[in-house]
Amino acid sequence: MSTPTPPRVVVLGGGSAGWITACLLHREWGTRGGSVTVVESPEIGIIGVGEGSTPQLKAFFDHLGIAEAEWMAACDATFKLGIRFTGWSEQAGCESYFHPFPGPVDLHTEPQFLRNCALRRRGVDVPAHPDDWFLAETLAEARKAPQPNDNFPFAPSYGYHFDAHRLGGFLREWAVARDVVHAQLRVVDVEIDVEGNVAALLCEGGERIEGDLFVDCSGFRSIIAQQKLGVRFLPFADNLFNDRAVVMPTAHRQPIKPQTDSIAMAAGWRWSIPLTSRVGNGYVYSSKYISDEEAEAELRAAIGMVDEGDARFLQMRVGRVEDSWTRNCLAVGLSQGFIEPLEATALHIVIATALDFAKAYEGGGFSAQHRETFNRRIAAKYEGIRDYIVAHYRLNQRSDAQYWRDNAANHALSDNLKAMMTAWFTHEDITQLNNQQHDGAPHYATMSWHCLFAGYGTFPPQAKMQPPPPGLAAGDPQAVRAMLAACATNFPDYAPA
């Protein structure tokens, strides 16, 4: 029996999503007879809403064998150990908390944090703030690079900040040098055959680009999946209120910390992302609660750019398509869906989609055999990530603006999120429930859920707290802090060029 031949892949649209997908599919099939062509109009720019990532981006570059020194320098990239959330809670002592990427050292400290959270949920007055327990927070606060000296064997997990335009350009050059075809053409129509599959992209000037498999990376327009094949879009507007963003860069005013800052605003939140060449700033907000002009003024005041610099506005279509894989089309990136950039998951989903699809498609003999299973997995990933982000808003501890009060009163929650919240407040086992909901592979680790709940201070009121009884086995944050500080001495100071 002959081995099936890998497909001719045609990717519509470049940018980070298009070129990441092209690189991954070329690596899977390029040496076995498959081909990848990226059709990209030079007139269409990159939205680049987010300039942060999860550790999945590191795994992507490692998968391709691209050295950090090579791509980071080309993309103004810096390290990211996690996200600091500031102003999301009015609870005393919880004005700010750090959500770290978990690493091997945390295996020794996380159980103490979870133990203290369980006690405090029951009204025992023990320390349970997330900042006391994890190496990533210690390194970020001390402005340390996440690469230890040779004598320290435990490297933390980390992501990156990067210039989205430069990242797309770097991946394009890397892919083209390895025989991925780059066709700079404007697509005017999509040809559908008699069976309802995509046959070709029809381009300005009469050029026709045929393929076996088409990847729609055309952004929010979703030219193939939604416009031509009629794939249904499922909005998340009831769950996530934000639909707009205003962005402005600023110059560096202080040394770089390897973290993203997420700072609550009147009708949303703003990010501060340090690149080597600048700081990226953006205010994500709901147009129902604030006008574009008011949002711009609030952002300018916050970053000290009242009378200088140009602001850029972006519209966000938050939600996902019903099926990411329809007929012979795979939707990836913004054409597939978008969950606001609060946890920087956009490229995480792109990479996961491309890798999971390649496995499913080839596993079925380059057929649609595993399409339904694949679509269920990707949909579950979107839903799981959405739930965690919705929880940031639903659990907020602010009362100073209608936006925050309405989010705290929002009941458009999934059953899974309702169950997680109920479990927390009724002292149930969060770890067990998290694993049950996601078949042992949750989208966010138990540690992340605990950081969110505890970081907001969602415990019984301090007046109802009881002192710990004698002999209680509770975690000691001072001892943990001392241990983490000792670990941090094995990491160099972070001073990106």
The answer to whether the CB of 215 falls within 8 A of the CB of 9 is yes
DSSP 223: I
- Terminal Cα distance for the chain, rounded: 55
Q: How far is CA 220 from the centre of its chain?
A: 17
Integer Cα distance of 299 and 245 in angstroms = 10
Place of tokens 């989010």: 407
Cα distance between residue 448 and residue 445, in whole Å: 5
CA proximity to 287, closest of 305, 307, 311, 314: 314
d(CA 366, CA 374) in angstroms, rounded, equals 13
Length, in residues, of the chain: 497
Is 418 considered catalytic here? no
Secondary structure (DSSP) of 14-62: -HHHHHHHHHHHHHHHGGGT-EEEEE--TT--------B--THHHHHHH
* Residue entry with tokens 């910390």: 257
Of the candidates 180, 160, 244, the one whose C-alpha atom is nearest the C-alpha of residue 14 is: 180
Residue 185 DSSP class: -
> Which pair of tokens denotes residue 180?
């991925």
Burial 263-273 (b: 16+ CB within 10 A, else e): bbbbbbbbbbb
Dihedral sign, Cα of residue 22, residue 27, residue 28, residue 32: positive
Which of 58, 80, 144, 228 is the catalytic position? Answer: 80
Cβ contacts of 223 within 8 Å, gap of 6 or more:
12, 187, 190, 216, 335
Nearest 5°: CA angle at 459, between 467 and 469?
Answer: 15
> How far apart, in whole angstroms, are the C-alpha atoms of residue 311 and residue 313?
7
In Å, what is the CA distance from 374 to each residue of 202, 377, 441?
29, 5, 15
61 in Cβ contact with 353 (< 8 Å): no
Of 178, 276, 217, 188, nearest in space to 46 by CA: 217
Listed residue (180, 142, 135) closest to 157, CA to CA: 135
Reading the block at residue 2, the tokens are 């002959």
Active site members: 80
